[in-house]
Amino acid sequence: MNGREVFREAEAANLGTTFKEQAERWFKAVQTRKRRPIKPRTADAWATYLSYINAQIGEMPLVSVNNLAVKQLIAKMASEIKKNKPRFAAKTISNYVQVVKMVVASAVNDKGEEIYPVKWNHNFMDLPEVKDQRTPVFSAEEISTIVSKAEGQYQVLYALLAGTGLRIEEAFALQVEDLEHSVIRVRHSMWNGRLYSPKTAAGLREVDIHHSLAELLHSHLNGRCTGFVFKSAVGTPLARSNVLRRSLHKILGEMGREKCGFHAFRRYRVTHLRKQRVPEDLLRFWIGHADGSVTDGYSKVKEDVEFRRFTAEQAGLGFHMPTVAPKLPVAPIAPKEARAQHALTA
């Protein structure tokens, strides 16, 4: 966008741009900008938010979208009931309000300065506090039960999620070429049947896995050299809702456990790795999180492949795996330092 276009948009804003008009410009910009464009999943969520928000304040002049207007929006959302329960949770209301703030802040002049700067007052708006969020996690015993009750490729999928901590979109995007012995290369994420880059830059990574999980994956592929690791009967990528409905939620119901999503597997893996005292920077590398501190940038643990493989083997899975005939080399040998220490103590 050149300077003249920026100036025209700023001028239009001053002449009475509505919230909906500015929201349309903002939503297009965040998807097409060169600096950190939003992912398709985020775009789908924000489109849903804007559909509701625009129905409430879309025709309001952007200049009037202030603390009072948002206070009224919050009150409206908090009052809505669906199936005898609040329609919007505190976290959801907070997400909607954040979108409103971003739309208002996106109106800038030709110098890049906000036209309608607002000092947001959460107390005045009575924005609900987000606390006690539901973060379900499976225990090792529950993972073993889920895996044992699952059928076909779902058994392999659940073992993979619990044994790696992969996001479900990353697991659905895995292709046979991404698997090499005891290493999984995460290169893509799947959303609505299409491949995209992972959620963040840290999502591009290698995940070292236990030899028993590698054997299960190898057995599942049964000699296949191409295609998605997990796929429908017609070869298309799996859909999250279908797997939940047809498999996971049925199993959880049989177990007498409340329904939840795939992230419970990811939480299990992080918890297990922490219990096994895996170095925090290596844990973040496997999980796909950015470095936690400047010091992490100095650590080269994730570049030490031999140590990574040894650590993955030592950490184990923590749950019972289906038995398969060994088809891959046994666990990688320990790093030289660990072998030398073992020789001294033997």
Q: What topology is assigned to 140-333 in CATH? A: hpI Integrase; Chain A (1.10.443)
Looking at residue 332, its pLDDT comes to: 43
Looking at residue 201, its pLDDT comes to: 80
Which CATH entry fits the domain spanning 3-125: 2.40.50, 1.10.3470, 3.30.1370, 1.10.150?
1.10.150
| Mean pLDDT by groups of 10 residues along the chain of 346 residues | 54 72 97 92 95 97 96 97 93 97 95 94 95 87 96 96 97 96 94 85 91 95 93 91 96 96 97 96 92 71 90 96 55 46 44
Find the DSSP H helices in the chain: 3-14, 19-32, 40-57, 67-79, 90-105, 122-125, 140-149, 153-164, 168-173, 211-221, 240-243, 249-254, 263-275, 280-287, 305-315, 336-345
- Which CA distances in Å does 239 have to 4, 171, 190, 193, 242? 44, 11, 9, 7, 5
Taking phi over 0 as left and psi of -120 to 50 as alpha, with beta for the rest, 6 belongs to: alpha
Looking at residue 175, its pLDDT comes to: 96
Looking at residue 131, its pLDDT comes to: 82
Number of Cβ atoms within 10 Å of the Cβ of 173:
24
Which H or E run includes 185? strand 183-186
Burial 209-248 (b: 16+ CB within 10 A, else e): bbbbbbbbbbebeeeeeeebbbeeeeeebbebeebbeebb
Quick check: 73 and 100 in contact, CB under 8 A?
A: yes
Looking at residue 15, its pLDDT comes to: 56
If 0-12 CB within 10 Å is exposed, 13-18 middle and 19+ buried, where does residue 79 land? exposed
- Which CA distances in Å does 164 have to 286, 293, 335? 7, 23, 21
Query: Residue ranges per domain, the chain?
Result: 3-125, 140-333
Looking at residue 11, its pLDDT comes to: 53
Tokens of 337: 């330092």
